Structure 1
Amino acid sequence: MTTKNVRPKFLNLFRIHLPVTGVVSFAHRVSGAVLVLSLPVVVFLFALSLHSEQGFERVSEILQCGWVRLLSLLVLWALFSHLFSGVRFLLLDLDIGMRLAAARASAWLVLALAALVLIALLMGVLL
């Protein structure tokens, strides 16, 4: 008995095109990892700010640094992206939005909401 092996020999991750639902699923995992990895830093800064007035001033100085502001925006994107996609996945678990068109629309909605909240936060920071 001979069977032909039709699996790919290699996977080029730069040539694979995920559908929008796959992108949202991947972004949900990445945002969860970013949130978990940032949690010790956020807790440390919060504890330092509550320790004394000098600690609060030090945290304020740290948060004014340019690259820290970019990292904080990344963490905020992760928070809102994870929140919106988590709600989407909870609705999918309840069999709401399981049809292909609804699943695609909700995936695009998650991406748009996360981007809009991030833009709104940026506008609030810049103003």
Structure 2
Amino acid sequence: MNSKRPVNLDLRTFHFPLPALTSIAHRITGVILFVGLIFAFWALSKSLSSPAGFDAVSSALASNFLAKLIAWGLVSALAFHFVAGIKHLFMDADIGVTHEGGIQKAQATVIASVVLIILAGVWIW
């Protein structure tokens, strides 16, 4: 038995590179979007049920802080997930599949996502 193998890994002590962090965040935003579909489908169903339902949803999104926060969170998750998905499409096409290319694509993913998240915040708030 190799005694140099770590027995108990403490994930808080690891330093993950940026491509790994963007990959983990891509998975997390996918889960957020999946769970967020409950809110989105409820709002869609309510808004399509009647004119009063549409007014209720639109007024909640216009004036309720929590509704705006949820909407911004979902749009932000969608923005990051979309940009990271585009990054994966480039990887599938064998574009930039090197160590340096991975870091550059991760940096571009973060920058593009931050820009889209800020624009979504301006649009929603």
Q: TM-score, normalised by structure 2?
A: 0.90
Give the unaligned 5+ runs of structure 2: none
1:71-122 Cα deviation digits (max 9, x unpaired): 2111111101111111111111221111111110110111111110111222
Query: Structure 1 residue 40: deviation in Å?
Result: 2.1
Q: Deviations over 1:43-85 (max 9, x none)?
A: 1111111111110121123323112211211111110111111
How many residues are matched?
A: 124
User: In structure 2, what is the Cα distance between the partners aligned to 1:60 and 1:123?
Assistant: 17
1:103-114 to 2 correspondences below 5 Å: 103-114=102-113
Q: CA RMSD in A?
A: 1.4
TM-aligned CA deviation for residue 7 of structure 1: 2.5
Q: Is the Cα contact below 8 Å between 2:68 and 2:124 reproduced in 1?
A: no
Structure 1 runs of 4+ aligned residues shifted over 6 Å read: none
Which residue matches 2:45? 47
Task: Mark the CA change 1:124 to 1:61 in structure 2 (over 3 Å): closer, same or farther.
Answer: closer
Q: Which moved more, 1:112-121 or 1:61-70?
A: 61-70
The residue aligned with 2:20 is 22
Q: Percent identity?
A: 27
Specify the alignment match of 1:86 in structure 2: 85
**Deviation of the 1:125 alpha carbon:** 3.8
- Partner AA of 2:18 in structure 1: V
Alignment CA distance shift 1:7-1:61 (3 Å)? farther
The residue type paired with residue 86 of structure 1 is: G
Superposed counterparts of 1:56-95, under 5 Å: 56-63=54-61, 64-95=63-94
Equivalent residue for 2:32?
34
CA distance in 1, matches of 2:2, 2:89: 40
Mapped to 2, the partners of 1:39 and 1:124 lie a distance apart of 20
Tell whether the 8 Å contact from 2:72 to 2:124 is kept in structure 1 after alignment.
no
Q: How much does 1:124 deviate?
A: 3.2
